[in-house]
């Protein structure tokens, strides 16, 4: 069984309720067909029920009556949700009118509030909406996880030989400081554990290995490493390491003898978004790996983003991942 099949199979056992706020979108409806056929999750669709059912008929997709379709513009919960969002954000300058507008005009906020209220176990969106909008709705509604102040992301990279490695952060935080980098490392390790079942072996990446270069960028990585070790003393983590020292055992033994993770890492933490985003795409395009994600992490409850270039299978896969993180 490959990694994706394993993720979907484990999701079936969870039977989680996942809200899909882009219910009127064609790819979302095609994904719902997969989700229902494979029993990956219990989907909840947001949008205009008439439009959703009409489009489903056009696509020859059966949406059974057991699948809830909720229109935030008509729901009796909208006023209550808007009041709670206002209470959450009024100290940041949000008015009730703004909260009500977000709740009725952007299904993202209604969906995120359903997750906050535990009416759904998670949310998957981003086929239409930008990452910034998805993240804003998540942070405004569910907030960050205890002990974590940073929302970030990983890509699960399935290599041609079947191995799964984790790259973070590749999609959210452009230039993390040392505390944010530490949060990314801790969250990425936990995501790797949740999705693969493996013990995370975390490499804090740099252009330097064990003092081979001196620079403030290297100092940031080392300071982040120190913070992680203080917060998670049992986590197997090391740095600073160049990628080859972290990935290739013979190089790791030569460049970082005695390191607990050099040459054995399965979680790779990049010092900034430039490096992370470029590397995952190089690994995908030249290395022929399958990139699964972005998987959002650091939130109090699971809300996951999609690429706007995603297809129905991508949405189904991220829905399965969302189930495992719920």
For residues 89 and 76, give the distance between their C-alpha atoms in angstroms, rounded to a whole number: 21
Query: In this model, does residue 39 exceed pLDDT 80?
Result: yes
C-beta separation of 271 from 167 below 8 A: no
Which of the four pLDDT bands, split at 50, 70 and 90, describes residue 326? confident
Relative orientation angle of helices 78-89 and 107-116, to the nearest 10 degrees: 80
3-state secondary structure of 240: strand
**Is 235 within 8 Å of 228 (Cβ atoms)?**
yes
Q: What kind of architecture, by CATH, is found in domain 3-143+299-325?
A: 3-Layer(aba) Sandwich (3.40)
Identical fold for domains 3-143+299-325 and 152-291, yes or no, is yes
Average pLDDT of the chain is 94
Q: What are the pLDDT digits (tens) for 119-153?
A: 999 999 999 999 889 999 999 999 998 888 899 99
pLDDT one-digit tens code per residue, 45-54: 999 999 999 9
The β-bridge relationship of strands 236-241 and 201-205 is parallel
- Model confidence pLDDT, tens digit, residues 215-232: 999 999 999 999 999 999
In sequence order, which residues have a C-beta less than 8 Å from that of residue 222 and are 6 or more positions away?
Answer: 204, 239, 240
So where are the chain's domains? 3-143+299-325, 152-291
Using CA atoms, how far apart are residues 108 and 115, in angstroms rounded to an integer? 11
Mean pLDDT lowest among 45-49, 88-92, 206-210 = 88-92
DSSP 293-322: EEEEESBSS-EEE--TT--HHHHHHHHHHH
Q: What one-character DSSP code corresponds to residue 200?
A: P
Structure tokens at 264: 């054995």
Is CATH 3.20.20.70 correct for 152-291?
no
N residues, the chain: 326
Q: What is the pLDDT of residue 147?
A: 81
**Model pLDDT, residue 161:** 93
Q: Quick: pLDDT tens for 234-259.
A: 999 998 999 999 999 999 999 999 99
Residue range 12-31: mean pLDDT, rounded: 96
CB 120 within 8 A of CB 44: yes
User: pLDDT tens across 265-304, in order?
Assistant: 999 999 999 999 999 999 999 999 998 888 999 999 999 9
Going by DSSP bridges, is the β-strand pair 236-241/42-46 parallel, antiparallel, or unpaired?
unpaired
The CA distance from 174 to 161, in Å, is 31
């Amino acid at each position: 069984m490959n990694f994706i099949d394993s993720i979907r199979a484990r999701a079936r056992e969870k039977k989680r309720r996942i809200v899909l706020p882009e219910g009127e979108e064609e790819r979302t409806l095609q994904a719902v067909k997969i989700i229902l056929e494979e029993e990956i999750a219990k989907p909840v669709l947001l949008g205009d029920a008439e439009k959703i059912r009409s489009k489903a008929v056009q696509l020859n997709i059966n949406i059974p009556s057991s699948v809830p379709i909720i229109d935030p513009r008509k729901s009796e919960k909208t006023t209550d949700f808007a009041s709670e969002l206002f209470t959450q954000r009024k100290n940041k300058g949000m008015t009730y009118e703004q909260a009500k507008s977000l709740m009725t005009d952007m299904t993202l906020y209604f969906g995120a509030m359903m997750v906050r209220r535990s009416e759904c176990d998670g949310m998957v969106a981003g086929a239409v909406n930008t990452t910034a909008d998805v993240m804003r709705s998540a942070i405004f509604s569910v907030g960050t996880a205890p002990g974590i102040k940073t929302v970030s992301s990983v890509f699960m990279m399935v290599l041609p030989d079947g191995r799964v490695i984790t790259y973070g952060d590749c999609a959210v935080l452009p230039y993390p400081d040392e505390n944010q980098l530490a949060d990314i490392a801790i969250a990425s390790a936990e995501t790797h554990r949740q999705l693969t079942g493996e013990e995370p072996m975390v490499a804090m990446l740099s252009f330097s290995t064990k003092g081979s270069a001196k620079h403030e960028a290297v100092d940031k990585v080392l300071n982040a490493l120190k913070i992680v070790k203080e917060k998670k003393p049992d986590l197997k983590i090391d740095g600073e390491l160049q990628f080859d020292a972290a990935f290739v055992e013979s190089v790791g033994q030569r460049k970082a003898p005695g390191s607990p993770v050099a040459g054995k890492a399965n979680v790779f933490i990049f010092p900034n978004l430039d490096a992370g985003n470029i590397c995952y795409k190089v690994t995908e395009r030249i290395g022929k790996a399958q990139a699964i994600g972005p998987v959002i992490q650091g939130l109090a409850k699971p809300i996951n983003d999609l690429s706007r270039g995603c297809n129905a299978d991508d949405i189904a896969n991220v829905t399965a991942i969302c189930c495992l993180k719920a």
